[in-house]
């Protein structure tokens, strides 16, 4: 994310078990060329040491041992005023409450009051707390004031409970920061339809067939397209990811539901991106009641409709992008898939490799287009892959002068 290069940023870290994830965030920010000053609350220091952050950021870390009245401290408050952005990740319910009410009783909350640039808050808290009326009221106050407060993710929490309260992923925090700092609007006027996540194919009322897709790639695409000015509809299978702000989400479960939702929203769409991992098969006749017994069972499967091929065959004028999850002969299989599906661009990745593809934060893809281009992209975060795909779509469409439905 070159927009971060040379930017002065302040990262506030508060006392949540998710504080260790802030370490990854600092690494990504510095990797992108940002100059990061980390500010730890007293409680944060119980989870991660100042030394860790100091080593990664290459800068002094502000802690409450640091006397807020000292000259050096005053200098850092000035830094707060000059910073391109201030991020708090993770932000506890306590920090959110103090920020909403302008309380400045430690270093971080003092710097928060001094900040003149955009403020991004990535909350993390235990189940139930996020939904508490007090927290919601504080979040609403901050948002009204122009502070970007991210929605926490849903999933297992440190307490053993499950619910909404997990720190949004590093990639999501970076994506939001990116959009706060760079208002590129090269997709203004576009209507983008993205599909994401797995599908669930029922076997009986309590069981289903699914796959390992997390939905991350599709959600990053939807968020990036929205940030770049497009009107975005996201048809999503079941995922644990919070919907990107400003995107219309159409939740679906099965491939047939996904097909229906996609066809319903196709009109007027200029770019279709099918990142969903649609189950190839479904149970031919799902049982109406729960299947019982401990005997061998044969499940008869029937193929699902190929939504991507169907969309491409409609020739609406939309630019159609498909994904291919391959385990071998990636380039050859991807080329064949591009042709078989009749689409403009295919994003191929090798899902047999660790650290990329399904459920990972990074991806390393090959972009194959119908005009004979094959561009391998280096390994990068899914947010960066999303931006690269969208830029490629714009470049190809310009080159091919593809007719567009508006």
DSSP summary character for residue 44:
G
- Tokens 């076997």 belong to residue: 203
Can residue 280 be called a binding residue for ligand CTP (CB under 6 A)? Answer: yes
Q: How many residues bind ligand CTP (CB under 6 A)?
A: 14
DSSP letters of 307-342?
HHHHHHHT--S-EEEEEEEESSSHHHHHHHHHHHHT
Query: Between residues 236 and 304, which has the closer beta carbon with respect to ligand CTP?
Result: 304
Can residue 278 be called a binding residue for ligand CTP (CB under 6 A)? Answer: yes
331-350 residues near ligand CTP, rule: CB under 6 A: 337
Query: Between residues 44 and 325, which has the closer beta carbon with respect to ligand CTP?
Result: 325
User: Can you give the C-alpha Rg of the chain in angstroms?
Assistant: 23
DSSP summary character for residue 185:
-
The phi-psi region of residue 2 (left if phi > 0; otherwise alpha if psi is between -120 and 50; otherwise beta) is: alpha
Q: For the sheet containing 374-376, what is the strand order?
A: 248-251, 231-236, 191-196, 271-274, 319-326, 345-350, 365-369, 374-376
Contact between 41 and 182 under an 8 Å Cβ cutoff? The reply is: no
Query: Between residues 276 and 318, which has the closer beta carbon with respect to ligand CTP?
Result: 276
Can residue 224 be called a binding residue for ligand CTP (CB under 6 A)? Answer: no
Strands 191-196 and 231-236: parallel
Can residue 274 be called a binding residue for ligand CTP (CB under 6 A)? Answer: yes
Can residue 255 be called a binding residue for ligand CTP (CB under 6 A)? Answer: yes
Stretch that binds ligand CTP, among 117-125, 276-284, 367-375, 391-399 (CB under 6 A): 276-284
Taking residues 294 to 333 in sequence order and writing x for each that binds ligand CTP by CB under 6 A, - otherwise, the string is ----------x-xxx-------------xxxx--------
Query: Between residues 162 and 327, which has the closer beta carbon with respect to ligand CTP?
Result: 327
Min dist CB 144 to ligand CTP, Å, is 39
Chain centre to alpha carbon of residue 85: 20
Contact between 60 and 70 under an 8 Å Cβ cutoff? The reply is: no
Q: Which of 138, 211, 333, 363 is catalytic?
A: 211
Query: Between residues 261 and 325, which has the closer beta carbon with respect to ligand CTP?
Result: 325
Min dist CB 373 to ligand CTP, Å, is 18
- Tokens 């996020």 belong to residue: 130
Can residue 237 be called a binding residue for ligand CTP (CB under 6 A)? Answer: no
Min dist CB 263 to ligand CTP, Å, is 11
Query: Between residues 77 and 377, which has the closer beta carbon with respect to ligand CTP?
Result: 377
Can residue 151 be called a binding residue for ligand CTP (CB under 6 A)? Answer: no
Stretch that binds ligand CTP, among 123-131, 174-182, 270-278, 369-377 (CB under 6 A): 270-278
211 noted as active-site residue: yes
- Cβ neighbours, 10 Å, residue 285: 10
Can residue 235 be called a binding residue for ligand CTP (CB under 6 A)? Answer: no
Min dist CB 340 to ligand CTP, Å, is 8
Query: Between residues 167 and 324, which has the closer beta carbon with respect to ligand CTP?
Result: 324
Min dist CB 325 to ligand CTP, Å, is 5
- Tokens 């929203």 belong to residue: 265
Query: Between residues 174 and 278, which has the closer beta carbon with respect to ligand CTP?
Result: 278
Q: Which 3-state string (H, E, C) describes 82-127?
A: HCCEEEEEEECHHHHHHHHHCCCCCHHHHHHHHCCCCEEEEECCCC
Min dist CB 395 to ligand CTP, Å, is 20
Min dist CB 64 to ligand CTP, Å, is 50
Counting every residue written for the chain, the total comes to 406
Report the first-to-last Cα separation within the chain, whole angstroms.
Answer: 31
Can residue 209 be called a binding residue for ligand CTP (CB under 6 A)? Answer: no
Min dist CB 164 to ligand CTP, Å, is 27
- Tokens 């006397």 belong to residue: 67
* 220's tokens: 């990053």
Angstrom distance (rounded) from CA 220 to CA 214: 11
Angstrom distance (rounded) from CA 38 to CA 57: 8
Angstrom distance (rounded) from CA 94 to CA 150: 16
* 181's tokens: 């700092």
Instruction: Give me the residues that bind ligand CTP (CB under 6 A), please.
Output: 255, 274, 276, 278, 280, 304, 306-308, 322-325, 337
Catalytically active residues are: 211
């Amino acid at each position: 994310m070159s927009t971060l290069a040379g930017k002065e940023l302040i990262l506030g870290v508060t006392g949540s078990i998710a504080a260790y994830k802030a370490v990854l965030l600092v690494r990504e920010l510095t990797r992108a060329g940002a100059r990061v000053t980390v500010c730890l609350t007293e409680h944060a220091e119980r989870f991660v040491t100042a030394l860790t952050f100091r080593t990664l950021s290459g800068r002094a870390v502000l802690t409450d041992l640091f006397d807020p009245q000292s000259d050096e401290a005053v200098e850092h408050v000035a830094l707060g005023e000059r910073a391109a952005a201030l991020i708090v990740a993770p932000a506890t319910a306590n920090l959110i409450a103090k920020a909403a009410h302008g309380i400045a009783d430690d270093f971080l909350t003092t710097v928060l009051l001094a900040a003149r640039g955009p403020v991004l808050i990535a909350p993390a808290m235990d189940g139930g707390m996020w939904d508490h009326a007090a927290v919601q009221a504080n979040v609403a106050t901050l948002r009204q004031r122009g502070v970007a407060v991210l929605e926490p993710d849903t999933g297992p929490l440190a307490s053993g409970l499950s619910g909404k309260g997990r720190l949004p992923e590093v990639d999501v925090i970076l994506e939001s920061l990116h959009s706060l700092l760079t208002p590129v609007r090269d997709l203004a006027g576009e209507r983008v339809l993205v599909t994401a996540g797995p599908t669930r194919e029922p076997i009986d009322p309590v069981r289903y067939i699914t796959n390992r897709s997390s939905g991350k790639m599709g959600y990053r695409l939807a968020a990036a397209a929205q940030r770049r000015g497009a009107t975005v509809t996201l048809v999503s299978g079941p995922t644990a990811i919070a919907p990107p702000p400003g995107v219309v989400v159409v939740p679906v479960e099965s491939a047939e539901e996904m097909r229906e939702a996609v066809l319903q929203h196709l009109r007027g769409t200029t770019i279709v991106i099918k990142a969903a991992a649609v189950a190839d098969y479904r149970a031919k006749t799902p049982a109406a009641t729960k299947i019982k017994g401990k005997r061998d069972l044969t499940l008869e499967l029937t193929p699902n409709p190929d939504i991507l091929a169907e969309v491409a065959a409609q020739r609406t004028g939309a630019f159609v992008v498909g994904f291919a999850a391959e385990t071998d002969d990636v380039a050859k299989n991807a080329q064949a898939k591009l042709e078989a599906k009749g689409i403009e661009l295919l994003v191929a990745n090798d899902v047999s490799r660790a650290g990329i593809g399904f459920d990972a934060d990074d991806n390393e893809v090959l972009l194959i287009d119908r005009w004979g281009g094959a561009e391998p992209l280096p390994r990068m975060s899914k947010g960066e892959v999303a931006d690269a795909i969208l830029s490629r779509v714009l470049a190809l469409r310009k080159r091919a002068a593809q007719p567009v439905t508006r």
